[in-house]
Each structure stands twice: as structure tokens, then as C-alpha cells.
Amino acid sequence: MSEQMLVDLMSLFPPELTPAQLAKAKTVFFKELSLRCHEFYGGKMMTVPKAGLYGFNWFNVWYTPGVSKVSTTIREDSKASFTLSNRGNTVAVISDSTRVLGDGDVTPPGGLGVMEGKAMLMKFLGGLDAVALCVDSRDEHGRNDPERIIQFVKMVQHSFAAVNLEDISQPNCYRVLDGLREQCDIPVWHDDAQGTGSVALAGLINALKLVNKQLENVHIVFFGAGAANTTTARLIIAAGANPERIIMFDSKGALSRKRTDLETDPAFYRKWELCRQTNPHNIAHIEEAMQGADVLIAISRPGPDIVKEQWIAAMGDKPIVFVLANPVPEIYPYAAKQAGAYIVATGRGDFPNQANNSLGFPGILKGAVLANARHITDNMALTAAHSLAKYAEDRGIEPDRILPLMTDHGMYSMEAAEVAMQAVKDGVARRIKTKEEYRLQARIDILEARRLVHQLMDTGFIERPPRAIIEECLRLAVVAVS
């Protein structure tokens, strides 16, 4: 197969496609290719030993009778489990699959593809081992009960160094995260919320530098008020944004003190906090809110045509537009630029400015694990955002390059080190080292993970996907837009 075909999938599309056709064709292509390749490989993760078998009696070392000494040692000191087993470098990726990407409730096993994808990125980008665990949170009446997830995580936490919560619908996601942060002795991280928020903040920091505006002065509109955007707003306010210059919209309208439906529903306490903080003038309509706005951050539902061009056209000077719905942004970047956007970010890597939580969680969780942290604090998420922003700025930022790329391993090791140091400052670290020691260990683990994957590819243990699969998926994509 042509190496070019494998490496540069974007070069395969016919040059005569319009921007609208190309955007749609890429979405179809990636979905079809993902399905075919998952079938070809049988998923994308496997478990392999990290210790060698040098002869028959090594079974006696790794299993019985030798391993008995490991069990009794951990019994006497449970902290030894972090160094005598792979617990110290292993993350549980846990979901009830009730809000997977833009597809909603896909049933518990339906989330496995995404959770395995998370595990793959943790290994390759963060040097972490991860296990996908999709659980059934339904009670006897068929309702998704957050307490079932909380109890499950509490029971399995002793096998992991950290927990990554994923794709849990709101309002359950708030209850699960806040409950587990209080009740677990290991870090519990909700990547859809905290991860997206920290990366969006990083992108916003650099975007504002390019347009010469200050965070505390800008008028920000948030479109969508799920776990991702409410947490993004909370982190951006913590970073210095003025909440009185923020307006947020959910499916029922603007958040404000007039939203008595949220005030009286304890499940939505996080949204009610924002109702009390933001939109002091009780602006009710998105068209009014967008007049002269500096920033739009949309994390709502897959597009296109969810965010309207006329909204962007009504914004102020050099508007910044983040449209982060997956798998399709609320408006395609070419359309946002035509409407007047100066900087556009999406969650996808096939467009400029990928503001995806994949830039955050591998380094953040690696830092928490390296420090053997008990919790991940909001300060650690803010530190990750500033680390990402500075890493990109040091290498040069411009309107189509406000964030680092996922391929830069140096970003993750630096991010991990700075997050670990913040854990020390916040008093939640149990393994205290210098920043350089944290960084070097992260770098070693990340490079070893990448070397392992490349060796498996180079030796043919990981086969190349058949050329016919790629060509058929490309044909289907082109037909879909013809």
C-alpha cells in the first residue's frame, strides 16, 4: 500500500470539492473508515506483559508461590500497591454511555469504541495504561441512577491510580463527579467537563493575545449549557473572566436569575450557580447577546448550521469562535470565517485549531499519577491550561495555530510536570519530587509507549489496514456529497 495513502488521508479527496462538500465528505469518510478498521483489528487495544518469562520457573516468580509475598506486603501497606503492581500507572475509563459524542445514549457497550479510544490516547500520548469500563447505571425502573456509578467506582478504585469519567449525561455527571471527588482516595476526573474546559481556556488565552484583548474585559457568549460548557465557563471565570460579561444559553433559553426551573431543581445546581453569577441584565435572546460579543464558545449539539452565520456577523472586532461539538462542529470553519470570524477552533484535527480534550487529559492524568495525588483540583486544571497556552506561544501562535498539536510529546511531559507540581502546592500529592524529575519520568514513559507502538507496526505485528478499505470509504464519502 502507498505510504502516502496511509499517512496523508487528506490528500485523497478530489480537489474539485467545494469547502462545504469537503467538510461533509471528511465526516462521512472518517466514520466509515473507523467502522471498517475497528472491524479489521477487532477493536484497538490489547493487554501485554511488561515483565519477561525467561524459563519455566519464572511462572513461579510471577504467579504462585512467589507472588504471595507481594500480596502480604500490600496487605501490610496498601500504598505499596502503587509500586508493586501496575496500579500506579493505570487509569480506569468509566462511562454509562448515556451521552456519547453527539449520539446520545448508545447503551452501555455502545460506548466501548470511545472508551477504548481514550485508553489508546492515554497510552500513546501520556504513557499511561488504561482500561475501558462501560457500566449499566439503570435502576429497576430503567432510569439512569448516578448512585450506581458512584458505588461502582468506589468498589473498583483500589485497582487504579486514577479514574477518568466519560460520556455521562447531565445532570447525573455533576452528582457523580462531585460525589466521587469527596469519597475516593484517588483522582477522579470528568474529561468531558474539566478536560474540555482546560483546553478551551488554553485556546482562549492565546486567541485573546492575538486580538489584543484582556480576559477580564471581553464579552463571552456560551451556547450550550451541558457539563462541558458549564465547566468551561466555571474555569474561565476562575481564570479571570468577568461573569457579568458572560451570557450562557441552554435548550430553554438564557441562563439568568429568572430561570426558576433551575433554581428549584437540585440536580442542576451547577447551572443555577451560573444563573446567579452571569447575565445580570437578563438578556433573553441569542441574537441580542451576540451583538458586539468578543467570544462565542459553543458546545451544544452536532452541526452544521446550529450556530448561524448572522450571529457571528453581529459580533465585535476580530471575533473568536469556538465551535466544539463532536463529531461535527456547530458551524463549519469555512462558513464561520465567511461570516467574519477571525479565529475559529473546533474539536477536530482535520481543521485548524483543534481544541479537543485530548490535548489535556493525557498530561493532566499523567501529572496526577506521577504525584500519586489524592484528587485533581481546579488549580491543577487551570495550571494545565496555562501550560498548554505557554507551550504553544513559545513555538509561535497565529490565528490558525493557537494550540499545540497532539503529536508533540514534549507538550504532554511538560504539562504533566506542571500539574504534578500544582498537586504538591495544593497538598494532595503523596509522591513529592522536583519538577524536572516529574518531567523526565513523564517523557520516558511517553517515549517508551510510542516506541512500543512503532515497533509493533514496523515488525508487522500491527498490520496495515488494507488499501481496499480506504478506497471504498473514500468512494462512499465522495458519493455522499455528489
Catalytic residue among 44, 50, 54, 118: 118
Q: What share of the chain is helix, strand, coil (3-state, %, to 5)?
A: 55, 10, 35
Distance of CA 84 to the CA centre of its chain: 30
To the query of whether residue 63 is one of the catalytic residues in this protein, the response is: yes
Of the residues 63, 252, 425, 435, only one is catalytic, namely 63
C-alpha distance from residue 64 to each of 55, 57, 68, 249 (Å): 15, 10, 7, 59
What distance lies between CA 171 and its chain's CA centroid?
19
d(CA 403, CA 200): 10
Q: Which helix (H) or strand (E) holds 309?
A: helix 309-313
Residue 405: all three cell numbers together: 498539536
Cell of 307: 450556530
- Residue 41 a catalytic site member: no
Residue 128 amino acid letter: L
What is the Cα–Cα distance from 345 to 207, expressed in whole angstroms? 10
Strands 253-254 and 246-250, bridge-based pairing: antiparallel
* Nine-digit cell string for 80: 505499596
278 and 215 Cβ atoms separated by less than 8 Å: no
Task: Tell me how far apart the alpha carbons of residues 441 and 127 are, in angstroms, rounded to a whole number.
Answer: 10
Residues assigned a catalytic role = 63, 118
